[in-house]
Amino acid sequence: MYNYHRTEKYDKRFLSQNFMGPNAMLMLDEITQCVELTKEMRVLDLGCGTGLTSVFLVKEYGVQTFAVDLWITATDNYKRFLQMGVDDLVVPIHADATVELPFADEYFDALISVDSYHYYGNNDDYFEKHLKSLIKKGAPVAIAIPGTKQEMNGIIPDALKPFLDDEGFATLHCIEWWTQILEKHLDDFSIKEMDCTDTAWSDWLATDNPIAKQDIDMMKADNGKYLNLISVTGKRK
């Protein structure tokens, strides 16, 4: 059983103004209960978006965090980190995770990625080619991603066709599929449907974000049949 009391203390308005999808902080709260993060660690928060996860990592674990994202600029995130009083421990970085990331080998003590890894890590090579060298052997890895309850092989079910394009849907896969991609890289490998799936989605759908408004119809059409959230945790082999 997970306990989400850490997420619950954050200002709901601040969170909903900065969500880019299902409640990122709640997802992070859940996956970080499956790995060990300690104060002296240097953490890569890959695909951090508006940096809600980086705020949480600093405030809840006191870790030094490198907040890397492509769609959100470093300046945008820096302003948010200042506002949240975490700027001394978070380094905002604008970078593309599919290009060589600007870090030294074995720089990181942990890797976190919430609602992002499916965009660039959804292939057999990514972890080995782009991430493995950056994180230390034995470093905790915790990833949360949207996925599907069964493998759809990129074929969009009729109910979801009005809402999703081929490119977006191709990033979504089931637990067995992600097991093939990631199990070989992680000791103590664990993968499961997330307990917070329903709440994380409803927190997002309740926001004023126009994309969330579109997603309301999508989730109604889905009716719990295809979409879920998946967590992957382990230690870098």
Contact residues: ligand SAM, CB under 6 A: 20-21, 24, 47-49, 52-53, 69-72, 96-98, 114-116, 119-120
The residue sitting closest to ligand SAM, measured at its beta carbon, is: 49
Q: H/E/C letters for each residue in 181-206?
A: HHHHHEEEEEEEECCCHHHHHHHHHC
CA distances (Å), origin 61, targets 57, 81, 231 = 5, 15, 19
What's the sign of the alpha-carbon dihedral 33, 185, 42, 228? negative
Rounded to the nearest whole angstrom, what is the least distance from the CB of residue 72 to ligand SAM in the complex? 5
**Which lies closer to ligand SAM via its Cβ, residue 137 or residue 213?**
213
**Which lies closer to ligand SAM via its Cβ, residue 64 or residue 77?**
77
Rounded to the nearest whole angstrom, what is the least distance from the CB of residue 70 to ligand SAM in the complex? 4
User: Could you say which DSSP state residue 171 is in?
Assistant: T
Q: E strands within the chain?
A: 42-46, 64-69, 90-94, 110-114, 140-148, 186-193, 227-236
**Which lies closer to ligand SAM via its Cβ, residue 21 or residue 187?**
21
Residue 45 identity: D
H/E stretch holding 106: none
Rounded to the nearest whole angstrom, what is the least distance from the CB of residue 197 to ligand SAM in the complex? 14
**Which lies closer to ligand SAM via its Cβ, residue 177 or residue 204?**
204
Rounded to the nearest whole angstrom, what is the least distance from the CB of residue 21 to ligand SAM in the complex? 4
